[in-house]
């Protein structure tokens, strides 16, 4: 139970951030960093804990964001309605990708997820009547959330809940089952685990969290465009998980924070960030495949 306490403590400290950072710009960066923490942690449920690839996480991120924008366009709803709806929509699509992926491993799964990511992107970019095409759709934020500090606290709260959820999930029997599937799926089945159901549920949960992150993002940047949800965004999230360490609670969190804050701090680097992510992926895999947190804690620590 130490981890949740550290998490609460970190969050408490993070509450002071808007007071310290006078510039709204840095609060914006902090919001983006938090959104990516949710994305990386939720991807790690699949990549790290279950050992299943997904290069489609940005698709679920986008599905959440577009759900918010389209709901608001049709019904004039606000963030609190969009969050559950965006998560549900993303979960639904997660199941949709999960079902045909059940029998797939390794390369095939990677290809399947990239294909899915591409289909979602093409639909978002080309079904103009529904999605606004390349120009996307606007999203309005209700006045009480309009202040950037307020939105920061909302995002911080959501991130805390998401991270706690991931921690409890991975420490529970469900997490043990995911680890079992990662280590040896055939064995997991022969000791009586219904691995198909578990994998589908894991797909749905992981996608739902990404969808929630998408809703936050849509409100934060006040709109959606398809180019925010491409395979490059998926690459970024994968890079965060690999950098921090797969299958470690703090891994994706640390990875997401480093990769969103670093390009801002070294602002000359910002325009090279995708080059950096690509190089980093290769470098980490070759030199430190267990990630920063993995390297620091060693393999026995849980």
Partner 1 sequence: MVSDLVLLPQFLTNGLVIGSGYVLVAVGLTLIFGILHIVNFAHGEFYMLGGFAAVLGSQLLGLPALPTLLVVAVVMAAFGLVVERVVFRPLGGKDPTNAIIASFGLSVLLQNLMLKTVGAEPMAVKSGFAPGAIQIGNVFITAERIAIVAAMAVIVAALLLVLRYTWTGRALRSLSENPTVALISGVNVRRVSLITFVIGSVLAGLSGALMSTVFMVQPNSGALIVMKAFIIVVVAGMGSIEGAIIVGLALGLIESLVAGYMGNELRDIVGFLIVILVLAVRPQGLFGLKTERS
Partner 2 sequence: MTPPILEARGLSKSFAGMVALDNLSFSVNEGEIAGLIGPNGSGKSTVVNLISGVLVPTSGQVVMRGQDVTGAPAHQMARRGVARTFQMIRLFGTLSVEDNIALALQQKEGPGYVSSFFRTPAARRQRAAAGVTAREMLKLFDLEEKASDLAADLSIGQRRMVELARGLASEPTVFILDEPAAGLAPHNVDRLIEMIRRMRDEFGVTILLVEHVMRVVQSVCDRVVVLDYGQKIADGPPAEVVNQPEVIEAYIGLGRGKNA
Q: Identify which of residues 186 and 267 has a Cβ nearer to partner 1 in the complex.
A: 186
CB of 111 to partner 2, least distance (A): 23
Contact partner, 49, from partner 1, partner 2, none, Cβ < 5-8 Å per class? none
Q: Which does 36 bind (CB under 5 to 8 A by kind): partner 2, partner 1, none?
A: none
Query: Would the CA dihedral through 29, 30, 35, 40 be positive or negative?
Result: positive
Helices and strands (DSSP H and E) totals, the chain: 15, 2
Query: Smaller CB distance to partner 1: residue 116 or 152?
Result: 116
Residue 185 neighbours by CB under 8 Å, 6+ apart: 195
- One of 29, 81, 92, 114 touching partner 1 (CB under 8 A): 114
Residue 193, Ramachandran bin (φ over 0: left; ψ between -120 and 50: alpha; else beta): beta
Indicate whether 274 belongs to the interface with partner 1 (CB under 8 A).
Answer: yes
Site string for partner 2, 270-299 (x = CB under 8 A): -----------------------------x
* Interaction of residue 99 with partner 1, rule CB under 8 A: yes
Tell me how far CA of residue 223 lies from CA of 5, 89, 193, in angstroms.
35, 18, 43
Rounded least distance, CB 78 to partner 2, Å: 29
Q: Which two tokens stand for residue 29?
A: 């960066």
Reference 207, options 290, 118, 117, 111; nearest CA is: 117
Q: Would you count residue 114 as binding partner 2 (CB under 8 A)? A: no
Q: Which stretch binds partner 1 (CB under 8 A): 47-55, 65-73, 195-203, 258-266?
A: 47-55
Residues 133-192 that bind partner 1 (CB under 8 A): 186
Q: Identify which of 284, 280, 260, 279 has the alpha carbon closest to the alpha carbon of residue 270.
A: 260
The answer to whether the Cα torsion of 237, 276, 7, 13 is positive or negative is negative
Residues near partner 1 (CB under 8 A) are 51, 53, 55, 99-101, 103-104, 106-108, 110-112, 114-116, 118-119, 122-123, 126, 186, 231-232, 235, 238-239, 242, 271-272, 274-275, 277-282, 285-286, 289
């Amino acid at each position: 139970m130490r981890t949740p306490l550290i998490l609460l403590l970190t969050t408490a400290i993070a509450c002071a951030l808007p007071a310290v950072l006078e510039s709204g710009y840095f609060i914006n960066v902090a919001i983006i960093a938090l959104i990516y923490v949710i994305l990386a942690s939720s991807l790690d449920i699949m990549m790290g804990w279950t050992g299943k690839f997904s290069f489609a996480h940005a698709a679920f991120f986008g599905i959440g964001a577009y759900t918010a924008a389209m709901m608001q366009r049709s019904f004039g709803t606000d963030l609190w309605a969009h969050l559950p709806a965006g998560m549900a929509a993303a979960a639904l699509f997660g199941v949709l990708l999960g079902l045909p992926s059940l029998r797939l491993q390794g390369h095939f799964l990677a290809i399947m997820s990239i294909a899915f990511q591409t289909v979602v992107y093409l639909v978002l970019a080309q079904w103009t009547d529904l999605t606004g095409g390349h120009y996307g759709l606007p999203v309005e934020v209700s006045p009480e959330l309009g202040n950037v500090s307020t939105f920061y606290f909302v995002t911080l709260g959501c991130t805390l809940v998401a991270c706690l959820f991931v921690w409890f999930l991975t420490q529970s029997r469900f997490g043990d089952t995911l680890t079992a599937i990662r280590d040896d799926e055939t064995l997991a089945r022969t000791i009586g685990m219904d691995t198909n159901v578990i994998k589908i549920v894991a797909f749905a949960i992981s996608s739902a969290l990404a969808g929630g992150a998408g809703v936050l993002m849509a409100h934060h940047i006040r709109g959606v465009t398809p180019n925010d949800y491409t395979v490059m965004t998926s690459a970024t999230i994968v890079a965060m998980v690999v950098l921090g360490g797969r299958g470690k609670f703090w891994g994706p969190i640390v990875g997401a924070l480093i990769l969103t804050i670093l390009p801002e701090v070294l602002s000359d680097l910002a325009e090279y960030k995708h080059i950096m992510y690509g190089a980093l992926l290769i470098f980490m895999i070759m030199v430190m495949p267990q990630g920063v947190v993995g390297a620091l804690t060693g393999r026995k620590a849980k």
